[in-house]
């Protein structure tokens, strides 16, 4: 049975809790509409058929090459940029905790001692006090501190999403770096084979020259083409070294020896295939792309700042209190009758501040408008990246197949040109032109195959890259 005498006390406690909760001047948040079309214009028919399900797989499932998985794990552990992003999250979390602590009174131990002339007699008197003190605790009637806490929470969540975006970027960069190394190895082998073939051609042409069958012009042309192949080999060696250094920077350490050894003789065509990805709908990017989620949290934070700026127009109420013991003698501090407390509320109502509060409000509103534009730009950028990757997916396959057929045709042409030259039907210039064309076509096949694989990585990244689920945190 409820004691009627407890009802006023309960009502008083409830009223105090409601009063301390204060009100909020934060504008109601509404997510801006996505400023992009409802579908991707470049989506293929296969992609369009799978529009309804577009969840991207974790990178561990998407990248099948165990060597690449090992490199990605190493990068996620050692990469310094990702480490900085993680520390930024810790810093933002601590800032949020500071803002949350501002809503509660800070209690400390206060000890004071003074010596001053007494009023009237002028005799010097001592005063000692010890106790617990609350210093200038702001009672958040109008939600200023709550708004600042909400802004800090949004900033923390935005920083967490920034870390997720950095992780997606790092995974894609390592994958692209690995594919570039595979292409470098293939181009190096191709350059070595071409150089060996041309050196043999120089040797045979020299023999024909000495026998009076070939002209010196043929010999000089063969020698020139050989030196061009040697220069290309040196360029490929330099490019491979640069790509390995770039990948080592992403890893935060040198490539493992077993991985480097396994690169010899690698071919892009033998690289494990990446699973096809359905593009889904542009609206799904809002929940899959961590950079878009980051921009939205920054918008929410800017919206909360408006509440803090509005609350600055209203009175700020602070409370200072102390409870303890006081005495004119140090030995009498803890005697009976020396205990007591003081409480001193204060109120500050802005009257004239030379337009500071209004300027702060206008600044906060402008910051929100900027955040809206940045959020919309993030969506548009994501839409373009997906559209570009889909366009590449639709055309790079055809280009690769056409170049492969061209290389096969150039190979047959070289055999015919060599046969015709040996039988005296064609000039040596025809043979050299066939050699140049075949080498160029073979290089183009490797480069387009690399572009095709890196485009799959780009699509994976553009679709969110298997990013972690949206960050969550309690605002209490």
- pLDDT score of 5: 39
Q: Which of 51, 9, 35 is nearest to 284 (CA)?
A: 51
Per-residue b or e along 424-453, where b marks 16 or more CB atoms closer than 10 Å to that residue's CB: eebbbebbbebbbbbbebbbbbbbbbbbbb
Helix, strand and coil content of the chain, in percent to the nearest 5, comes to 65, 10, 25
- pLDDT score of 239: 95
Q: What pLDDT band is residue 49 in, cutting at 50, 70 and 90? A: very low
Q: Which two tokens stand for residue 457?
A: 């990585």
Q: Which two tokens stand for residue 170?
A: 């790092």
Kindly report which listed range (272-281, 299-308, 418-427) carries the lowest average pLDDT score.
272-281
Instruction: Please tell me the distance from the alpha carbon of residue 379 to that of residue 386, in angstroms, as a whole number.
Output: 11
Instruction: Please tell me the distance from the alpha carbon of residue 164 to that of residue 231, in angstroms, as a whole number.
Output: 43
Q: What pLDDT band is residue 236 in, cutting at 50, 70 and 90? A: very high
- The residue among 141 and 94 whose pLDDT is bigger is 94
Q: Are 268 and 453 in contact (CB under 8 A)?
A: yes
Beta bridge pairs of residue 329: none
- In three-state secondary structure terms, 202 is helix
- pLDDT score of 55: 57
Q: What pLDDT band is residue 56 in, cutting at 50, 70 and 90? A: low
31-45: average pLDDT: 76
- pLDDT score of 182: 94
Kindly report which listed range (396-410, 417-431, 435-449) carries the lowest average pLDDT score.
417-431
Q: How far is CA 343 from CA 97, 166, 321, 458, in A?
A: 27, 51, 4, 64
- pLDDT score of 1: 36
How long, in residues, is the chain?
Answer: 476
Q: Which long-range contacts (CB under 8 A, 24 or more apart) does 30-36 make?
A: 31/296, 32/299, 32/372, 32/375, 32/376, 34/282, 34/283, 34/286, 34/376, 34/379, 35/376, 35/379, 35/380, 36/282, 36/379, 36/380, 36/383
- In three-state secondary structure terms, 109 is strand
Q: Which two tokens stand for residue 224?
A: 């020139």
Mode of pairing for the β-strands spanning 339-348 and 124-139 = unpaired
- pLDDT score of 208: 85
- pLDDT score of 10: 40
What phi, psi does 27 have (nearest 5°)? -60, 150
Q: Are 413 and 433 in contact (CB under 8 A)?
A: no
- pLDDT score of 426: 84
Residue 354 has pLDDT above 80, yes or no: yes
Residue 52 has pLDDT above 70, yes or no: no
| 288-336 residue pLDDT tens | 899 999 999 999 999 999 999 999 898 888 888 888 776 666 666 666 7
* Cβ count within 10 A of residue 28: 5
Residue 7 has pLDDT above 80, yes or no: no
- pLDDT score of 331: 63
Torsion of CA 273, 278, 279, 285, to 10 degrees: -100
Residue 439 has pLDDT above 60, yes or no: yes
337-357: average pLDDT: 82
- pLDDT score of 402: 96
Residue 13 has pLDDT above 50, yes or no: no
- In three-state secondary structure terms, 445 is helix
Q: Are 459 and 388 in contact (CB under 8 A)?
A: no
Instruction: Please tell me the distance from the alpha carbon of residue 302 to that of residue 121, in angstroms, as a whole number.
Output: 60
- pLDDT score of 325: 77
268-282: average pLDDT: 79
Strand order of the β-sheet with 339-348 is 107-117, 124-139, 316-327, 339-348
Residue 474 has pLDDT above 90, yes or no: no
Percent of the chain with pLDDT over 90: 50
Q: Are 418 and 409 in contact (CB under 8 A)?
A: no
Q: What pLDDT band is residue 60 in, cutting at 50, 70 and 90? A: confident
Report the predicted TM-score, pTM, of the whole model to 2 decimal places: 0.84
* Cβ count within 10 A of residue 220: 13
Q: Are 201 and 222 in contact (CB under 8 A)?
A: yes
Q: What pLDDT band is residue 14 in, cutting at 50, 70 and 90? A: very low
Q: What pLDDT band is residue 342 in, cutting at 50, 70 and 90? A: confident
415-442: average pLDDT: 89
60-82: average pLDDT: 93
| 194-229 residue pLDDT tens | 999 999 989 988 998 888 888 889 889 889 999 999
The string of DSSP codes covering 46-81 is: HHHHTTT--PPPPHHHH---HHHHHHHHHHHHH-HH
- The residue among 124 and 259 whose pLDDT is bigger is 259
- pLDDT score of 361: 93
| 364-403 residue pLDDT tens | 999 999 999 999 999 999 999 999 999 998 899 999 999 9
Instruction: Please tell me the distance from the alpha carbon of residue 294 to that of residue 154, in angstroms, as a whole number.
Output: 9
- The residue among 271 and 51 whose pLDDT is bigger is 271
Instruction: Please tell me the distance from the alpha carbon of residue 270 to that of residue 259, in angstroms, as a whole number.
Output: 16
- The residue among 393 and 88 whose pLDDT is bigger is 88
Q: How far is CA 412 from CA 7, 417, 431, 438, in A?
A: 100, 9, 12, 9
- pLDDT score of 330: 61
């Amino acid at each position: 049975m409820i004691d009627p005498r407890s009802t006023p006390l309960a009502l008083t406690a409830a009223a105090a809790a409601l009063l301390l909760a204060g009100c909020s001047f934060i504008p109601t948040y509404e997510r801006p509409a996505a400023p992009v079309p409802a579908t991707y214009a470049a989506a293929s028919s296969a992609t369009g058929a799978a529009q309804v399900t577009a969840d991207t797989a974790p990178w561990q499932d998407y990248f099948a090459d165990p060597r690449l998985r090992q490199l990605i794990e190493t990068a996620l552990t050692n990469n310094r940029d990702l480490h900085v992003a993680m520390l930024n999250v810790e810093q933002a979390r601590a800032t949020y905790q500071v803002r949350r602590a501002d809503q509660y009174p800070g209690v400390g131990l206060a000890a004071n001692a003074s010596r001053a002339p007494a009023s009237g007699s002028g005799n010097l008197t001592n005063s000692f006090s010890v106790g617990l003190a609350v210093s200038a605790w702001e009672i958040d009637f109008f939600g200023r501190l709550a708004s600042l806490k909400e802004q800090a929470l949004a900033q923390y969540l935005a920083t967490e999403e920034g870390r997720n975006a950095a992780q997606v970027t790092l995974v894609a960069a390592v994958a692209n770096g690995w594919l570039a190394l595979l292409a470098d190895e293939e181009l190096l082998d191709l350059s070595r084979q071409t150089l060996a073939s041309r050196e043999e051609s120089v040797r045979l042409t020299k023999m024909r020259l000495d026998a009076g069958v070939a002209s010196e012009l043929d010999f000089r042309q063969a020698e020139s083409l050989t030196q061009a192949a040697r220069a290309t080999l040196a360029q490929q060696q330099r490019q491979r070294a640069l790509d390995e250094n770039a990948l080592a920077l992403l890893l935060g350490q040198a490539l493992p020896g077993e991985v480097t050894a396994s690169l010899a003789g690698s071919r892009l065509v033998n690289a494990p295939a990446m699973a096809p990805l359905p593009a889904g709908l542009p609206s799904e990017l809002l929940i899959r792309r961590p950079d878009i989620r980051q921009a939205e949290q920054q918008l929410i934070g800017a919206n909360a700042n408006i509440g803090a700026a509005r609350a600055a127009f209203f009175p700020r109420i602070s409370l200072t209190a102390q409870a303890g013991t006081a005495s004119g003698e140090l030995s009498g501090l803890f005697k009976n009758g020396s205990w007591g407390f003081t409480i001193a509320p204060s109120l500050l109502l802005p009257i004239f501040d030379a337009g500071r509060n209004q300027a702060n409000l206008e600044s906060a509103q402008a910051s929100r408008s900027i955040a809206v534009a940045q959020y919309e730009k993030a969506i548009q950028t994501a839409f373009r990246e997906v559209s570009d990757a889909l366009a590449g997916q639709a055309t790079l396959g055809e280009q690769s197949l056409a170049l492969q057929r061209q290389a096969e045709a150039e190979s047959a042409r070289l055999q015919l040109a060599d046969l015709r030259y040996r039988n005296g039907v064609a000039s040596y210039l025809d043979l050299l032109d066939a050699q140049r064309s075949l080498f160029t076509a073979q290089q183009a096949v490797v480069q387009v195959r690399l572009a095709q694989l890196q485009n799959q990585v780009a699509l994976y990244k553009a679709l969110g890259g298997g990013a972690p689920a949206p960050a969550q945190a309690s605002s209490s």
